[in-house]
Structure 1
Amino acid sequence: MVAEATVDCYNDGECLAGFHTMLDEHLAVPFQTSVLGVDVSVTKIDLTADEQIVAVCVRGRSRQRIPILDLPLPTPPPEGAEWIEAYRVWVR
């Protein structure tokens, strides 16, 4: 999966964009999870200006961006969650 996300990438920024694309295409959103004991809906995956892949979490009118590697996943995890683990392997 890492090779698939980073094919034709020449630097870390391009690899990050590759993982963002794979997560955007394969991670089934929206899904529900709990962050610090609060139920939230993950509505999309985004790439920040400081090169972090984040989950956009929504509860009512509140929104919070949480780094995808810090996001607690529900049980069972949403379809495509294996891309988060592939990203975790690449980051190491």
Structure 2
Amino acid sequence: MRSPNRAALAALVAEATVDCYNDSECVTGFYTMLDEHLELPFQTFLLGTEVTVSGIDLADERIVVICARGRSRQRIPILDLPLPTPPPAGAQWIEAYRHWLRYVRA
């Protein structure tokens, strides 16, 4: 999957943030889109160790993923997560969230 271009990212941002009045509501909008569209679970590597990304959550007004290895679980900010190649379906919503944080959020 290629990274979405700016126009595609802008369209995703607009969809996730429609009817949002503040940053907290926007983050919730992105969380909702990720919850609906990001294909879980998927495998990736974190610090050289294979982990299973088994879920997403909201924590302190940011989106985190739940990574598992064996019986251990850890929450990682979604933007810090290295994606596998090819990325899972719905990964364009992660890029849209990143775009919003960098360029749109005031």
TM-score, normalised to structure 1's length? Answer: 0.98
Amino acid at match of 1:29: L
**How many residues of Structure 1 are paired with residues of Structure 2 in the alignment?**
91
Give the gaps of 5 or more residues in structure 2. 1-11
Structure 1 residue 75: Cα displacement: 0.2
Q: Which residue of 2 aligns with 1:83?
A: 93
Amino acid at match of 2:39: A
**Structure (1 or 2) with the greater helix fraction:** 2
| Structure 1 runs of 4+ with >3 Å offset | none
Structure 2 residue 57 is the aligned partner of structure 1 residue 46: yes
CA RMSD of aligned residues (A): 0.4
Q: Which has the larger radius of gyration?
A: 2
Indicate the SS of the match to 2:36: helix
CA distance in 2, matches of 1:67, 1:14: 18
Matches within 5 A, 1:64-79: 64-79=74-89
The percent identity for this pair of structures is 75
